[in-house]
Amino acid sequence: MTAIRVEEPRDSAAVRMVNESAFGQSVEADIVDELRRACGEFGR
């Protein structure tokens, strides 16, 4: 069984690594990072 939880600030580096590995480049990871910054508290 998989547990899903709200992302915490400490997760961002691991999420970035997963995105870079999944897509083979950093473009998508950059988009996720930018969305995090742009959304602020709304993204949490």
Residue 42: pLDDT over 80: no
Domain count, the chain: 1
pLDDT recorded at residue 43: 59
Read off the pLDDT of each residue in 3-7 and give the average, rounded to a whole number.
Answer: 91
Q: Can you say whether residue 7 is alpha, beta or left, with left for phi > 0 and alpha for psi between -120 and 50 degrees?
A: beta
AA identity, residue 12? S
Which residue intervals of the chain are DSSP H helices?
12-23, 27-39
Q: What's the pLDDT tens digit per position in 7-34? A: 899 999 999 999 999 999 999 999 999 9
5 within domain boundaries: no
Whole-number Cα distances in Å, 42 to 26, 38, 39:
24, 9, 5
Asked whether residue 38 is assigned to any structural domain, the reply reads yes
* 40 confidence band (pLDDT: 50, 70, 90): confident
pLDDT of 44 above 80: no
pLDDT for res 37: 92
Degrees, nearest 5: CA angle 19-21-25: 80
Q: Residue 15 sits in which domain range?
A: 11-43
